[in-house]
Amino acid sequence: METVWFRPLVWLDYRLAVFFAVFLPVVILIWSLLTKTESITRLLVIYWRVASLLMITTYLMIPSWPIGFVSAVAAKILIPISLWFWVDLNEEIRDLPDKGIKIFTAAWRWAVTIYFVVGTVANLPFLSCAFGKNVINTPFCQVWLEAPWKYKEIFHAGTRAGFLGFLGMVGLIFYVLYLGYFLFFRLGKQGRSAIEQ
C-alpha cells in the first residue's frame, strides 16, 4: 500500500480511542459500581449506549463500506454530547464529595470531550471517502481501514468481511432507530433528565 504521511497519526488516533473510549470508561464503570456511585454509573451506562456506534463503525469499515466514515464522525459528535447533556446527572455528580471517582470522572469527561472535538474536526476531510466515487480505494481513505482490518485479523480470522459488515449494518439500523425514538418521543417527554418520568 502506498505510504501516506499521516498514517502514524491515524494509528495514534485509534490507540487514543481505545484508551479514552474503551479502557478508561470500563475502569470508571467498575469503580462506580464498587463505590455504589449511582449517578456516575448511570452516566457510564448512557455513555456505552452512545459509544456503541464506535464498534458499529469498526464493523462497517472491515468490508470498506463508505458509510463507516459517516458513522465515525457521528460517533465523535454524539459521545461528548452524551457526557454533558443530562442536567440531573451533571447536578448529582457536581454535588458528590470531592473524592477520587468524582475527580477522575471529571478529568475523563473533559479529556474525552476535547479528544472527540479535535477528532471530529480532523476527520471532516475524510468524509469525502464516504461520498466520492472510487475514493474509498485511495490510500487517503484506506489508511483509516487498516486498524479495522487488523481487528478482524485478530478477533474474526476466517470470517468473511461482508458478513461482519452486515452485522455492523444491522447494528447501525437499530442504533438509528433507537436514536430516532429518543429524539422524537422520549426527549420531548423527559427533557434533559436521565431518569425516565
pLDDT tens track, the chain, 197 positions: 568 899 999 999 999 999 999 999 999 999 999 999 999 999 999 999 999 999 999 999 999 999 999 999 999 999 999 999 999 999 999 999 988 999 999 999 999 999 999 999 999 999 999 997 777 889 999 999 999 999 999 999 999 999 999 999 999 999 999 999 999 999 888 889 887 64
Give the pLDDT of residue 193.
86
CA–CA distances in Å: residue 139 to residues 4, 119, 131, 135, 197: 7, 20, 16, 9, 50
CA–CA distances in Å: residue 112 to residues 61, 153, 163: 22, 28, 31
As given in the structure block, the three cell numbers for residue 109 are: 469527561
pTM, whole model, 2 decimals? Answer: 0.93
Give the pLDDT of residue 91.
95
Hey, where are the domains in the chain? 7-190
Give the pLDDT of residue 183.
93
Asked whether 60 and 165 are in contact (CB, 8 A), the reply is yes
